[in-house]
Structure 1
Amino acid sequence: MPVTFELAQHPAEPVKATEDGPISSPEDLLARTWGKNSETHDYDELLQTSLSAEIPVGGEWSQFRPQQNGFVHTIVDAYNHHHHLVLRPDDVWVAILSQFNLFVNAHAAELRSIFVQHNSQKHLILRADGDRRTVNFGDLAQQLTRNIEKKILDKTLRDWILPDFSTTRANDTAICAILMMSALKSYFTYEIRLRCGIPSITLNGSKEDWSSVVLRLDKLASFGQEPAAFAELLRPVLLRFVQAFDKNELGEVQDIDFWSKICHVATGGSGPPHLSGWLTAFCVWNQDGQWMGPKLPRQPANTLKRVPRSGHAAVAAAAQIPLILDGVEYKKINFDNVPRGFCEVDIKLNDNGEIFATKMVSGHVGSVIEGEKRDTLKPLLAWFMFTM
């Protein structure tokens, strides 16, 4: 049963058109997200995308808005421009995995012994019936993670990464599978061989779903100091997601102070060139996988230095006072430093003997505009596969 609660008295405003205008196709969305950041900036052909399943009957592409981080920027837009906000456990989990992907790729050498025994990269081949026009590449990505599971040391890793919430759809699982492939691309290369054959804030989901997200944080500490600190930043935030269901069930007032600090520690404002609220917990690694979260202790540890303040949040009279939740301090970051919410991974495709260099892009790629009055936003998760 979803939970919806009001944070402000003013009505929601319709989402206004951007200067770039609405997207016209999946290719347009890909060009405005991955295309702006890729070294190649171009590709030959879009083979497939999960977005085909996102268009309802009578829907149109104009409901999608490209974003460099579809999770963070969707929330910021809703906050700054007075739109309702809808979040699913899957949205938050993909945001966590996107950051984890950056960390693992930046520290592949030192993390190798945690993930694999082999040196260099092991080539994984998946064989499937069909051709590039008929197969479902999202399903094949999930099958590739089964191959990965056989070669990695931690046999619980795949189940930890792939979501199983009540809100999880097939595309969500595929997106997380591609994120897993991207996170481990320093240890594996991938090939698919095809052959012809028989072919406000609304928290969706249940309390159990969101509790499952919290439980999944425990494993992060096994990957080192930075992931452990990432988990500590996330835990006070996600526990309050769970508490929202408790408060709703008991008929209690929602923690408006917490939810109001989603973007900025000083509530009620919008427009500064930085984030200082708890949303920064989802932006601790930059695009190069370098830590940009709160300062870590010099000695190895699994905890951040805690600030001795009472209460779950410090009262901030000015923006320079950091937000503190359960003794954990949240660092301010500039908008320019918000990392991308999507990843990419190369796959060699053997289509019945015809060889293609292909790439899969997956993660948070935009916002979805919803509601009769087009006044509601939710993060857009999608994947793409294309030839190079």
Structure 2
Amino acid sequence: MVTFPVDDVMPVTDSLPTSRTADLFPAALATGGDAQVLRPNGVHPLLHAVGKAFAEHRPLVLSPDAVWLTIARGISDHVKQHAEELRPVLVGHEGKERLTAHFGPGDTWDSLVERLAKQIGDSIFECDFSTSTAVERLAGRVAMLDAYSPYFGFWMIAVCGIPSITLTGTPDDWRRIRARIDDLPRFGLERWCRSLVPITDEFVRAAEGNADAEFWKRIYNPVDAYGGEIVTGWVTRFYPYLEYPADGTVPNPMLDLPVGEPRDSAEHGLSTDTVPATLSRAVINVNDGRDVSAVALEAGLVGVTQHEDGALEPVAGWALTPAPPGIETVLDRIAAEHECEPPEPRVRRPGPFSIYMGPQGSGELIALYERLGAASLRGGAWRIRPDSAREHVKVGRYQVDVVFDLADGRCAGEVADFRTGLSHWVVFGPGDRPEEVPVLGGSLAMLLESVLDHGDVAHLETMKLSELRLSYD
């Protein structure tokens, strides 16, 4: 650890209002990271910490983890935007492969994510510094899962100024970050690499005890741009993409300037609200033997904590939240990627009143048939029947509403529990008995997503149809 003076200002050390990291995720199923953090203001935590330290004369603490998680998030954003260009560089397969981690009663989310990450094996994302805790290690791995999400589906079975800056960790930690920057061109990030090389060189120099005060004074706003409404310092180079309401995600124009620029103008710079402040996110599908569902692991820098001496530091955390796939999102994908027919017109019911009948069934089924008439998925391997061609077939004592025809002669449909409103999806062939028919969970959206991603649904099996107990049994 090393602390060095930057600006000649009187340090401010009074305490700021804070809250628990867990309070940032009120709907979370689980969280990681227990730091007390400043109230969030919508700004990315690294930029928030630097900006507040700069504006209020507060000391600043930067860890290798905070800096690397910011860079790792930028890599993830870039890979997802250029997934097909980078496919031959990063993976050796087409489409989405399924990565599975089996879990038992003693397993934790840390161990689950570690097992998934090892199957990808791209160590550039790792937080493996002397300062790294389990929270930072998980956050780095979630950044990797986020980056590789186009290629894999993840499954779990069961004058302002700053008085001083402290770099935690060892010089070797910062040298390792510097070495990883040289690997960014592998992701097509040569432009970003050119900006980060001189910046991370200075991190190494400072960690070795040779801090260049003039360089560190320019972290947020150069002295000659103090008072401007935009950020022009080199901290802006940690973000390869910016977000604008009208234009969406765009490359950061600061990367086209030398690191020492702009020096005497606020013409070039960025507003803090254009920097993506979201976390890395990996959706993990869960088969617990009773149903299939999905959860999202969100991890990264979650806030800014304050040390006893008043210094500010961006800190990592994670949260586990429900993430059921939305049927509309899946239908959007089907409409964009597959051959579809328009929805059938509503049918007028015979009688004295003009009542037009639409599709019947569960909410997901109604959404399906209000959007599509029929569709061929994966070259005809699965075909969605028109609403008018649906039929009810008995499989043992169970009644199945047939919705899909498979190229191998089997069908797929819904077994509905009308008292509870629950659905159970099954795949069966001619003459199959209930003890031979797999139940594939209760979500049509997850069933369709698996068909689109993998072409098979065997991994969705939770039980056999003969084991299914309905409320009216």
Paired with 1:244 and 1:262, the residues of 2 have a C-alpha distance of 13
Query: Does residue 49 of structure 2 align to residue 49 of structure 1?
Result: no
Contact kept? 2:62, 2:167, Cα under 8 Å = yes
* C-alpha distance after superposition, 1:205-238 (max 9, x if no partner): 11111111100011111222xx111111011111
**Shift in Å, 1:264:** 1.0
Paired with 1:294 and 1:368, the residues of 2 have a C-alpha distance of 28
* C-alpha distance after superposition, 1:275-299 (max 9, x if no partner): 1010111122125653123476xxx
* C-alpha distance after superposition, 1:263-319 (max 9, x if no partner): 11235834x3311010111122125653123476xxxxxxxxx86xxxx84693444
- Residues 162, 25 of structure 1: alpha-carbon distance in 2 compared, 3 angstrom cutoff: closer
| 1:234-245 paired onto structure 2 within 5 Å | 234-245=196-207
Equivalent residue for 2:253, pick from 268, 273, 293: 293
Equivalent residue for 1:141, pick from 89, 96, 113: 113
Paired with 2:134 and 2:8, the residues of 1 have a C-alpha distance of 37
| Other-structure match for 1:347 | 284
| 1:9-88 paired onto structure 2 within 5 Å | 9-14=8-13, 17=16, 22-23=18-19, 26=22, 28-30=23-25, 45-51=27-33, 54-55=34-35, 61=36, 63-66=37-40, 67-88=42-63
SS of the residue 1:71 aligns to: helix
**Shift in Å, 1:71:** 1.1
Equivalent residue for 2:103, pick from 120, 128, 131: 128
Identity of aligned residues (%): 26
Q: Which segment drifts farther, 333-342 or 204-213?
A: 333-342
The runs of 5 or more residues in structure 2 that have no matched partner are: 159-163, 324-473
Give the residue type in structure 2 aligned to 1:29.
Answer: L
Give the residue type in structure 2 aligned to 1:138.
Answer: D
- Residues 318, 85 of structure 1: alpha-carbon distance in 2 compared, 3 angstrom cutoff: same
Aligned residue pairs, count? 313
| 1:299-310 paired onto structure 2 within 5 Å | none
Is the radius of gyration larger for structure 1 or structure 2? 2
TM-score of the superposition, structure 2-length normalised? 0.61
Give the residue type in structure 2 aligned to 1:201.
Answer: I
Equivalent residue for 1:284, pick from 225, 240, 259: 240
Paired with 2:179 and 2:275, the residues of 1 have a C-alpha distance of 26
Equivalent residue for 2:269, pick from 323, 329, 332: 332
SS of the residue 2:39 aligns to: strand
Give the residue type in structure 2 aligned to 1:245.
Answer: A
| 1:190-205 paired onto structure 2 within 5 Å | 190-194=154-158, 200-205=164-169
| Other-structure match for 2:147 | 183
| 1:98-137 paired onto structure 2 within 5 Å | 98-130=73-105, 135-137=107-109
Give the residue type in structure 1 aligned to 2:284.
Answer: I
Paired with 1:96 and 1:70, the residues of 2 have a C-alpha distance of 13
SS of the residue 2:242 aligns to: coil
Equivalent residue for 2:297, pick from 340, 360, 384: 360
**Shift in Å, 1:175:** 0.6
Q: Which structure's relative contact order is higher, taking Cα pairs within 8 Å and 6+ residues apart? A: 1
Query: Does residue 335 of structure 2 align to residue 379 of structure 1?
Result: no
- Residues 13, 352 of structure 1: alpha-carbon distance in 2 compared, 3 angstrom cutoff: farther
Paired with 2:83 and 2:58, the residues of 1 have a C-alpha distance of 40
- Residues 186, 314 of structure 1: alpha-carbon distance in 2 compared, 3 angstrom cutoff: closer
Q: Which segment drifts farther, 284-293 or 98-107?
A: 284-293
TM-score of the superposition, structure 1-length normalised? 0.74
Give the residue type in structure 1 aligned to 2:297.
Answer: M
Give the residue type in structure 1 aligned to 2:250.
Answer: Q
- Residues 341, 13 of structure 1: alpha-carbon distance in 2 compared, 3 angstrom cutoff: farther
The runs of 5 or more residues in structure 1 that have no matched partner are: 32-44, 56-60, 150-157, 195-199, 249-253, 297-305, 321-330
| 1:220-231 paired onto structure 2 within 5 Å | 220-224=184-188, 227-231=189-193
- Residues 265, 319 of structure 1: alpha-carbon distance in 2 compared, 3 angstrom cutoff: farther
Contact kept? 2:21, 2:303, Cα under 8 Å = no
